[in-house]
Amino acid sequence: MNVEAILGVNITQFLLSFARASGLIVAAPVFQSRSIPMQVKALLAGVLAATTAAYVSSDLDLEKFSFWMAVVTLIQEVLTGIIIGLMINLPMYAFQLAGYFFDVPMGFGMVNIIDPQSGTEMPLMGHFNYIFACLIFLAINGHHSVIMALIRSYELIKPGMFFLRKEAVGVFLQAFSGMFYLGFKIGIPLIGSIFLADVALGVISKLIPQINVFIVGFPVKILLGIFIIIVFLPTYVFLIEQSFANSGDTYRMLRLMLQNLYVK
C-alpha cells in the first residue's frame, strides 16, 4: 500500500508537513533537546507530519516541480517550522536568562555546568531555571500548544509562500526584547532582595568591624536566594502559563510573525 492509501493524503501534503514539522522539532521547547536521539526526533516529525498533513491545503504538486524548485519549497517549510519553534522557545530562554541574573548576586557566578540538552556551559541557576520551566511547560500541556501552533500555522502561511519581509524582522526584535523583559521580571525579586542584604551586611560591617562580612555574606545570600526562589515559585508558574496561553504574548507574537512571512 502506498502513502496516500495509508494516510489518506497525497505525498506532496506529507512531504510539506514533514518539512515544517522537522523544523519545529529542531527549535521547539523540549523537542529540541540533545538528550532525544535523532532517530526519535525523526519519528516524532513523521508522526506530526502524518497528523497534520490533512491541514495542508495547497495547489502545489512537488512531483511536477523541477528538483531545485522542490528543494527550495521544502527548505522554506523547514525555515517556517524553525521560526515557529524559536518564537515559542523564547519564554524558556527568558527563564534561562533570569538564571544568569540569579547567579552573580547569590555567589554562583563562577559555577558553570554542562547542559546535556544544548551541550554548552550554563550557569548553575540558569540550568535550574530552564529545567524547571520545561517541567512546567509539560505540566500545563505546552507541547499540545506547540502542535496546535503547527496546525494553525497553515492558516496563516501556505506552503511555498514563505518570504522574509522587513516587518517580520521588527516583530522578531520585539519578541526578542520581550524575552529580556520577561527574564528581568523573573529576576528582579531576587536581585532586589540580595541588594538589600548587601546593604544590611554593609551596615553590620560598620557597626561591628570584628565580623568578617565577606565570609558571612556568602551563605547568607545563598540561603536568602533559595528562600526567595521558593517563595516566588507560584509566580514563575503563573508567568509560564500566561506566556503559553492562547491569548499570551508568545502566540500573539508568533501570529504576527507568521502574518509577516506570508506572500500575499
| Domain edges within the chain | 3-259
- Residue in 183, 188, 99, 95 with CA at minimum distance from that of residue 137: 95
Non-local CB neighbours of 200 within 8 Å, separated by 6+ positions: none
Q: What pLDDT is recorded for position 20? A: 85
**What is the maximum alpha-carbon separation in the chain?**
85
Whether the pLDDT of residue 9 is over 80: the answer is: no
Burial of 125 (0-12, 13-18, 19+ CB in 10 A): buried
What number is the average pLDDT over the span 184-189? 83
Is residue 192 over pLDDT 70? yes
CB atoms within 10 A of CB 263: 10
Q: Which three cell numbers stand for residue 230?
A: 521558593
Can you give the pTM of this predicted structure? 0.76
The 10s digit of each residue's pLDDT in 26-76 is: 888 878 777 788 888 888 888 888 888 777 776 666 666 677 777 887 888
Q: Which of 50, 51, 69, 67 is nearest to 11 (CA)?
A: 50
Distance from C-alpha of 69 to C-alpha of 61, rounded to nearest angstrom: 11
Confidence (pLDDT) at 263: 47
Model confidence pLDDT, tens digit, residues 122-152: 777 777 888 888 888 888 777 777 888 788 8
Which of 137, 134, 125, 131 is closest to 97 using CA atoms? 125
